[in-house]
């Protein structure tokens, strides 16, 4: 399901005012949130701890994986967009599984084989994935190009990029090669645990919101705000890439 692009409750000046006000409030909240969220990555305390330990340390890596996902605003924004119009749990499970398959594959392969590129570029692509999903929810591709992209394939492909982003962050840990594979698997388990916890919270909020009359009325505004957040992330990361 998606919303016809630029076809929401813009029937009166009051509706336009209310949508614009909601959008501004949402963007203001996001900008406030980003003041701390842009520091998302490897906490200095975590980095120091990981650099000091060697061998198999499963629980610390499970914790770090869960922490990274729960505080990963970029991953959570994409998940929010993915499940926005998914009402059945089996559909949610399919898309989340595809996303998990994608990011688990590139996470494990990227770190194990030491493959990395600029984290700024990968995070910019992750921002692009948020923009894509918001536009998809708004029905933009159908309106602009007369085609609807395969949302399952797109979720899997962007999952690869999200996992590669995770891999670049993990390599900042400078993990010891001793016990690397078990520790990576533990980190990935932690990521999945964190994803499930975050998804559970999002589904609860979405479940209550969908029962109200305001859901479809404000779905347009929510996805425009999501799209703006994605563009903001892209701009921030590209600025970092060219300045660094």
User: Which helix (H) or strand (E) segment is 232 a member of?
Assistant: helix 214-243
pLDDT of residue 72: 85
Query: For 21-45, what is each residue's pLDDT tens digit?
Result: 554 445 444 444 444 444 455 566 6
| Structure token digits, residue 141 | 């591709």
User: What DSSP state is assigned to residue 72?
Assistant: -
| Cα 162–chain centre separation | 8
Computed from CA positions of residues 108, 114, 120, 124, in that sequence, does the dihedral angle turn out positive or negative?
Answer: negative
**CB contact set of 40 (below 8 Å; sequence gap of 6+):** 71, 72, 73, 74
* Cα–Cα distance for residue pair 178/52, rounded to 1 Å: 12
pLDDT computed for residue 35 by the predictor: 40
* Closest among 78, 124, 131 to 102, alpha carbons compared: 78
User: What does the pLDDT read at residue 169?
Assistant: 78
Whose CA is closest to 101, among 197, 183, 188, 194?
188
pTM: 0.82
Residue 202 is predicted with a pLDDT of 93
Look at residue 33 in the predicted model and tell me its pLDDT.
47
Q: List Cβ neighbours of 189 (8 Å cut-off, separation of 6 or more).
A: 62, 65
Give CA–CA dist 85/241, Å, rounded: 34
Which residues, 6+ apart, have CB-to-CB distance to 172 below 8 Å?
41, 42, 47, 119
Any residues with CB less than 8 A from the CB of 234 and at least 6 apart, and which?
124, 127, 128, 131
Domain boundaries, the chain: 13-35+46-243
Low-confidence ranges of the chain (pLDDT < 50): 5-18, 20, 23-25, 27-39
In this prediction, residue 41 carries a pLDDT of 55
According to the model, what pLDDT value does residue 43 have? 61
Q: Residue 222 has what pLDDT?
A: 93
């Amino acid at each position: 399901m998606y919303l016809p692009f630029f076809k929401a409750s813009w029937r009166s000046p009051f509706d336009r005012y209310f949508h614009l006000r909601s959008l501004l409030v949402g963007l203001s909240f996001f900008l406030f949130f980003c003041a701390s969220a842009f520091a998302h990555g490897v906490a200095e305390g975590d980095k120091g701890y990981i650099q000091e330990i060697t061998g198999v340390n499963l629980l610390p890596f499970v914790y770090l994986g869960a922490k990274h996902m729960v505080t990963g605003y970029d991953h959570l924004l994409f998940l929010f967009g993915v499940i926005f119009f998914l009402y059945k749990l089996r559909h949610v499970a399919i898309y989340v599984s595809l996303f998990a398959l994608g990011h688990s594959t590139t996470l494990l392969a990227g770190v194990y084989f030491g493959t990395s590129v600029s984290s700024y570029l990968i995070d910019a692509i992750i921002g692009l994935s948020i923009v894509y999903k918001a536009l998809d929810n708004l029905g933009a591709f159908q309106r602009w190009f007369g085609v609807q992209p395969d949302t399952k394939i797109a979720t899997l492909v962007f999952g690869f990029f999200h996992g590669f982003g995770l891999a670049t962050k993990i390599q900042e840990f400078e993990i010891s090669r001793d016990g690397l594979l078990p520790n990576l698997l533990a980190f990935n388990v932690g990521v999945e645990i964190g994803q499930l916890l975050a998804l559970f919270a999002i589904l609860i909020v979405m479940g209550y919101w969908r029962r109200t009359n305001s859901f479809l009325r404000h779905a347009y505004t929510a996805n425009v705000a999501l799209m703006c957040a994605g563009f903001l992330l892209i701009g921030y990361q590209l600025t970092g890439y060219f300045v660094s």
